[in-house]
A and B are shown apart, each in its own frame.
Chain A
Amino acid sequence: MKVLMFGWEFPPHISGGLGTACHGLTQSLAEENIQILFVIPKADNHTTNDGVKIINASSIIIPLREDHYPPETQREAEAATKTSNVITIVVRSGLQPYNSPGVLSQQSSITQWNYQFSPGSLEKVKNETHVRYQFTGGYGPTLMDEVENYAKVAAEISRQSTFDIIHAHDWLTYPAGIAAKEISGKPLIVHVHATEIDRAGENGDPRVYQKEREGMEAADRIVAVSQWTKNIINSKYGIPAYKIAVVHNGIDPKEKMKGIIVPPIGKRIVTFLGRITHQKGPQYFIDAAVKVLRKFPDVHFVMAGSGDLLPKMIKRVARLRISSRFHFTGFLKGDQVDKIWTATNVYVMPSVSEPFGISPLEAARAGVPVIISKQSGVAEVMHHTIQIDFWDIEALASAICNLLQYESLAKTLIHNGEEEVREITWTKAATAINRIYHELTD
C-alpha cells in the first residue's frame, strides 16, 4: 500500500496540532508497512521522519507544458497573478534556491496564528521551460496563492509517482488532493483536523469554507478527528454522514519531567495553553480566573501561547486588575511546554469549538489534571477529565476551585488520566486509517 499524502506542517516547523498529528499518524502507519510519500510545502534538513519519504514541494520542478493544464486554468492563474499584485521573480539561468525574506519575522509575530489574505508576495523560480515554487509553508499573506500553487506541484508529483491512494490533511492541501485525484484517478481521503467553522464560527472566510467543501465533496472518504467534527461536516457542509469516518488522534508516550522547572511565580498555577484566538476561548479562562481569585487570592494563572487576540486579552486582564496574578508567556516551543506542565496544578482548555485538542492529552501524560470544554473532540476519548460548557464561567471557576481545594480530586484525575492517555495511541488511529485505505482500494 503506497499513499501519496499532502500536509502543510511537519515537525519541527509546527504552529499547532496539525504538524504533530501528521507526524504521529505517519509514524504509526509506517509501522503497519504503509509506504508514504509525504508532501509538504517547505522542508529542510531538520525535517526527518523514519519510514516516511518527505517530498519538499519547494524543490519540485514543473515543466511548463500546456497540455498539463487546461487553458482556462492558465488564464485564471495569470489573472490572479495580476490582481493580487504578485511579485514574480524570474531566474533565467539555473534554479537557485531562494530564501524568502521575512518568514522568520512573520513567525514571531503574535498575529501569525490566523490566516491572512491581504496582498503580499509570492515567489516563483521560473525559466522558459520550467517553474519551481518557493513556498513559505506558513500562514502568511500569500497563503491563498500558495495553496493554489501547491496544487500545481501536487499535480506534477502525481504524474511522476506511483501510489494507490491519496490522503490530504486539512483544507490547505485539499486542492492538491483533488488535482492528484484528477490526474491519477486514485481514491482521495480528506482528513479534517479542523474546519473554518471551528476557527471562526459563522464569520469564517468564505474562500476557505469553499475550499473545504470542495475537498469534502471530491473525497471518496472523509476522516474526521472526532464525532464533534463529523457533526459539523455533516450539518454545516452538507456531507452525508455515511461518507465520514471518525478516527480520533493519539499521543506518543513520553517521560515526565522531574521537578519544577519554571520561574517561581506561585505555589499553585492554573494554565491555559493554546493559540490565543476566538476558537480557543481565552476570555472564558480570564473571566473564570477573576472568580477563582476571589476565593483563592494566591493562585496564579498562566496563559501560554500566541494569537490575534493576545493584545485584547492583556488589556482585559489589566482592566480586571488581576495582572499581578496573571502571566502571558507568548508562544512556547518543545520543552518549554513540558516545563510549564511541571508547575501546573490545573490545565484548562475552554475551546469554543475544538475538533480534537492534543494539548489535554499532553497535560494528562505529564500528570496534570484537565478541565476541557464539552465542545471538544478530545472530550469523547478523555473520560477522566472535568468537562464544562465553554460559556459556563461559573462551572469552570467552580471546577478550578474544587481541584485546588480537594487534593483527592486532583490525585484521582491525575492517576486515571495518566492511565487513560496511555491507551489513546497513534497505533489505534493508524489501524483505523489502514482499514479505510483497504476499503477504498480493494
Chain B
Amino acid sequence: MSLQTKANKRYLNLYFQVHQPRRLGQFSFFDIGTGRDYFDDDHNQIIMHRVAKDCYQPANLLLLKLIHKHPGIKVTFSISGSALRQMEVFAPAALESFYILAATGAVEFLSETYYHSLSCLKSKREFYAQIKMHDDKIHKLFGVRPVVFRNTELIYNDEIGRLIQGLGFKGIVTDGIERILHGRSPNRLHQHPEKNLSIFLRNYRLSDDIAFRFMQKNWSEWPLTPTKLVAKLDAMQATENLVTIGLDYETFGEHLKASTGIFQFLEGMLAKVAKHKTLEMVTPSQAISLIKPLDVLNVPESISWADENRDLSAWLGNGMQQDAFGSLIKMEAKINKTGDPRLLNTWRYLQTSDHFYYMSTKDGDDRGIHDYFSPYASPYEAFMNYMNVLSDLELQIENRVRDQVHSEYAKKTEFLTPDELKKLCNDQSKWKPETLTF
C-alpha cells in the first residue's frame, strides 16, 4: 500500500538512544601481563541497576500507558548491544519492559553497531560484522529486523551512506547541522547524492531544548512546556514536513532526575502531539513510505552530534585519542588470526566510543559534558588506563598465537620440511627462529 503525504500534515519522529558502555576497571601499568580483568562489571552493574530503576523502567511504563491511551503515539529506539547485553545480565526486568513496549506495534528499533563503536572509520569488515551482530540481537529479542540505521553518535558522511545502503538499509539518521544544510531546513526527509537512501536529520535545537535546556534557568524560554514545544512545531513552514527529535533515553530520570518534572513533560508533550490535528507521529520506516525525499544532501566530511564542533573531535581530537584508536585498530589482523571469540569480544568492547570520549582534553562547555560522563578524574587517567589494558590484550594475543604455533608443531610426528619451517617462521614473526635450531 502506498501512502500519500497528506497536505498540511507534519510528521514527527521521536527517537531515543539507549546506551551504556562497558566501563573499564582500574588497570595499572603493573597489571599488564597479570591476567587481571579489564572491565569493572560490579560498577557497571550498579549503574545499570540505577538507570533501569530511574529511567528505563519508569519511562517504558509511561510510554506503554500513553500508547494505550493514544494509539497515534509512535516511538523509535536505538539500543546499543552493549546496553542490551548489560540489561540482559544485570537488569532483565528492564529488558522485558522494552519487550512489552515492542509488542504494542507502536515502536520501531534502529540498527547500529553492537559495540557502539567507531568501526565505520577504519574497518569496513568490523563495521559490517558489528551491525549484523546488533541486528541479529534485535531480531532475537524483539522479532524484527531494523531497516533504518543510526550510527554511533550520529557519525555520518557520504561514504558511510554508501556502505549502509549497500547493506540494504532504507534510511539513516544523522544530525541536522548548519555545516551540511547551508541554510536549508533540517525538517525534511533528505536523500543521499547517489544512492537510494533516505536521510533523517535530527533537529538538534528542539532536541537540545529538552536534553540540555530543560533545567537551564537562565535560558530565555525557560521553563519549557509541552505547549511551547508544540507551538514551535506549529510555527514551522508548510514545507517542513518531517521533524526528527532524538534524545538520550537517559535524559528521562538519569541525566534529569524525576524531580525535575521531565516525565510530566514527556507525558504532556506526547499527549498534546497525539491530539494535535496536523501533527502525526511516525517511525522512520513509516516516514520513508509516506514521504518522497527530494532534497539531496552532500556530506563529504564526517559529522556527528557531539560537542560544539559536531565532528569527530570528541573521540579523535587529540594525539592521545588518535594514538589509542590507532593502536586498537592495528590489532585487527592479529585478533582475527587467534580465532579466539573471547579475545575478539574483548577487543570489540574496547572499540566502544565512550573510551575515547573520556580522553578528550577540550575546554569550555564541552569539557563539562565529557566530565559528566567520564568515570575518570582526568582524560590522562582515561588514556593511561586504556593503554595499559590494550598493552595487556596485545600480550594475550601474542601468547595465544605463540601457543597455536607450538601446538601445531607438537602435532607433527615427522620433521618439518624446509618449506614448512619457512612458512611457520613467516606466519609468526613472534616465533623466534633460534628456538628451532637446536
- Residues of A in contact with B (beta carbons under 8 Å apart): 291, 295, 383-387, 394-395, 397-399, 401-402, 405-409, 411-413, 415-416
Contacts and interface: CB of A to CB of B under 8 A. Distances in A.
Contacts of A413: 380
A401 B29 contact: yes
Given A295-B29, A384-B361, A397-B29, A412 B318 contact: yes
B319 interface: yes
B309 interface: no
B287 interface: no
A409 B387 contact: yes
A395 B323 CA distance: 22
A225 B316 CA distance: 36
Contacts of B381: 386
How many B residues are at the interface, by size bracket?
A: 10 to 19
Nearest to B31: A398
A316 B322 CA distance: 41
5 contacts: A295-B29, A387-B378, A394-B28, A395-B28, A415-B319
Nearest to B362: A416
Nearest to A399: B384
B383 to A, nearest CB: 6
Contacts of B320: 406, 408-409, 412
Interface in B19-78: 28-30
Contacts of B391: 405
A239 to B, nearest CB: 29
Contacts of A401: 29-30
Nearest to A384: B361
B86 interface: no
A405 B319 CA distance: 14
A208 to B, nearest CB: 34
B333 interface: no
A232 B242 CA distance: 59
B388 interface: yes
Contacts of B324: 408
A408 B319 contact: yes
B361 A416 contact: yes
Contact of A408 (B30, B322, B377): B322
B29 A386 contact: no
Nearest to B371: A383
Nearest to A295: B29
Contact of B323 (A385, A394, A406): A406
B28 A405 contact: no
Contacts of B322: 408
Nearest to B319: A408
Contacts of A405: 29, 387, 391
Contact of B28 (A398, A408, A411): A398
Interface in B349-385: 361, 377-378, 380-381, 383-384
Contact of B384 (A383, A402, A416): A402
Interface of B: 28-30, 318-320, 322-324, 361, 377-378, 380-381, 383-384, 387-388, 391
Nearest to B391: A405
A398 B378 contact: no
Nearest to B361: A416
Contact of B30 (A387, A394, A407, A409): A394
Choose among A384, A387, A402, A416 the residue with the greatest number of B CB atoms under 10 Å from its CB.
A402
A408 B29 contact: no
A378 to B, nearest CB: 14
7 closest Cβ contacts across the A-B interface?
Answer: A408-B323, A398-B29, A401-B29, A398-B28, A408-B319, A402-B384, A412-B320
B375 to A, nearest CB: 15
Contacts of B387: 402, 405-406, 409
A398 B36 CA distance: 15
A410 to B, nearest CB: 9
A385 B377 CA distance: 11
B389 to A, nearest CB: 12
A411 B323 CA distance: 11
Contacts of B380: 384-386, 409, 412-413
A420 to B, nearest CB: 9
B73 to A, nearest CB: 45
A399 B391 CA distance: 15
B378 A383 contact: yes
A387 B383 contact: no
B284 to A, nearest CB: 39
Nearest to A292: B29
A407 B326 CA distance: 13
A137 B379 CA distance: 44
Contacts of A295: 29-30
B79 to A, nearest CB: 33
A129 B119 CA distance: 88
Given A408-B323, A412-B319, A398 B30 contact: yes
A402 B388 contact: yes
B30 A386 contact: no
Contact of A397 (B30, B318, B378): B30
A409 B384 contact: yes
A411 B318 CA distance: 10
Nearest to B383: A409
A406 B320 CA distance: 8
A409 B324 CA distance: 10
Given A386-B384, A395-B28, 5 more contacts: A398-B29, A398-B388, A401-B29, A401-B30, A405-B387
Contacts of A402: 29, 383-384, 387-388
A383 B319 CA distance: 17
A407 B327 CA distance: 12
Given A395-B28, A398-B384, A402-B29, A386 B378 contact: yes
Contacts of B383: 402, 406, 408-409, 412
A401 B391 CA distance: 12
A398 B322 CA distance: 21
Contacts of A399: 29, 384
A330 to B, nearest CB: 31
Contacts of B388: 398, 402
B31 to A, nearest CB: 8
A383 B381 CA distance: 12
A411 B319 contact: yes
Contacts of A386: 378, 380-381, 384
B94 to A, nearest CB: 35
Choose among B30, B377, B387, B388 the residue with the greatest number of A CB atoms under 10 Å from its CB.
B30
A398 B388 CA distance: 9
A412 B320 CA distance: 7
Nearest to A403: B384
Given A398-B388, A409-B387, A387 B377 contact: yes
Contacts of B30: 291, 295, 394, 397-398, 401
B280 to A, nearest CB: 48
A383 B320 CA distance: 16
